[in-house]
A and B are shown apart, each in its own frame.
Chain A
Amino acid sequence: MRLELLAELNAARASRRAAVVVTELPGGAQRLVQNPAGDPLEAEIRAAIRSGRSGVVEADGARWFLTAHVPAPRMVVTGAVHISQALAPMAAAVGFEVTIVDPRTAFATPERFPGVDLRAEWPDVVLPDLALDPFTAFAALTHDPKIDDPALKAALDAGCFYVGALGSRKTHASRRVRLAAAGVSEDALDRVRAPIGLPIGAASPAEIAVSILAEVIAALRRPGERIP
């Protein structure tokens, strides 16, 4: 591997960009792909980025090893609420870097969220710093449109791989109207999972956290499949 290629790869990883190293086997001819469009192995590279899995592919009588480098998944949540208290440690255990945003300082206290990256700020203030991206899951859990709506819009604009919002169908219908008025497209609104979480009959805050986390994992690992 050429040092320049390695340096470029490390720069991509440091800035949370997906990158795939394509290595011809056994010869070792190599290239770094950050934008698969037009690459001879475009479909295979896209699959590697989607799954995060490295592996050998065969094409045109040649064998290639694709090393997939995708950023660690993150979860950003608005609402330092009861569900988030259960969700944060569960998501961390699964490997997500978790950040909770809630400007209400009575909710966003370190005592309620020990060891969690907690931002007692309005989403408009803190989200630019967090740099939401396609490897981030976002969940809106405050029930307060003043907090959730701007964050939902930011998450959809950033192409977060998962965007979910707490609330009944009725609540979500009025949310769609508000977000549409704020300039969010119908296609983007269709990406919002609401009511949030897989339908497992979750009753307690911790059970709802399980249903949300399971839905997030499904969106990460089985993209394109709407579950159920």
Chain B
Amino acid sequence: MTAGPDLLSIAEEWVRAGRGVALATVVETWGSAPRPVGSHLVIDGDGRFEGSVSGGCVEGAVVAEAAEVIADGAPRVLEFGVADETAWRVGLSCGGRIRVFVEKVA
């Protein structure tokens, strides 16, 4: 029931095109997390990405971590408290906590 680009197809295409690819997935949320469990962010070795795990709050940090994951191949579990006041002011439903699993696709 969701629209938008098909992130898992994008991930497969990127890998087949020879790009380094990481897949980030929201695995747990507490409080008013902006994106539901199961949401994906696909990141390539150049830091290009599609999708979202937080509606914009923590994507930058996930993309940075994804570069490490692509480099060494080891998956990581990241945890964020999403409580940024600027984000709140611009209307993002932040204030929750999320746990994100980041893995290499290869």
Contacts from A to B (Cβ < 8 Å): 1-3, 6-7, 9-10, 13, 23, 25-28, 53-56, 65, 67-68, 72-73, 94-95
Which A-B residue pairs are the 7 nearest by beta carbons?
A: A95-B1, A54-B38, A28-B75, A26-B77, A65-B27, A1-B105, A54-B37
Chain A, Cβ-Cβ closest to B106: A3
A7 proximity list for chain B (CB < 8 A): 12
State which of B8, B25, B74, B101 has its C-beta within 8 Å of the C-beta of A13: B8
State which of A3, A28, A65, A94 has its C-beta within 8 Å of the C-beta of B15: A3
A-B contact pairs, 20 of them (CB 8 A): A1-B105, A3-B15, A3-B105, A3-B106, A6-B8, A6-B11, A9-B8, A10-B8, A25-B101, A26-B101, A53-B37, A54-B27, A54-B37, A54-B38, A55-B38, A65-B101, A67-B25, A67-B38, A68-B38, A73-B1
Chain B, Cβ-Cβ closest to A21: B25
B79–chain A nearest beta-carbon distance, Å: 11
Chain A, Cβ-Cβ closest to B37: A54
A27 proximity list for chain B (CB < 8 A): 75
> What separation, in Å, do the CA atoms of A28 and B69 have in the docked complex?
12
B16 proximity list for chain A (CB < 8 A): 3
| Chain B interface, >50% SS class | mixed
Chain B, Cβ-Cβ closest to A9: B8
A65 proximity list for chain B (CB < 8 A): 25, 27, 101
Inter-chain residue pair count (beta carbon < 8 A): 57
List CB contacts (< 8 Å) of B61-91 with chain A: 74-77
* B28 within 8 A of partner (CB): yes
* B103 within 8 A of partner (CB): yes
Q: How many residues of B contact A (CB 8 A)?
A: 22
Chain B, Cβ-Cβ closest to A72: B1
State which of A10, A25, A68, A73 has its C-beta within 8 Å of the C-beta of B12: A10
A56 proximity list for chain B (CB < 8 A): 27-28
A55 proximity list for chain B (CB < 8 A): 28, 37-38
**Further pairs besides A26-B75, A94-B1: 17, Cβ < 8 Å:** A3-B12, A3-B105, A6-B8, A10-B9, A23-B101, A23-B103, A25-B101, A26-B101, A28-B74, A53-B38, A54-B27, A55-B38, A56-B27, A56-B28, A67-B25, A67-B38, A95-B1
A72 proximity list for chain B (CB < 8 A): 1
Chain A, Cβ-Cβ closest to B29: A55
B12–chain A nearest beta-carbon distance, Å: 5
A53 proximity list for chain B (CB < 8 A): 37-38
B38 proximity list for chain A (CB < 8 A): 53-55, 67-68
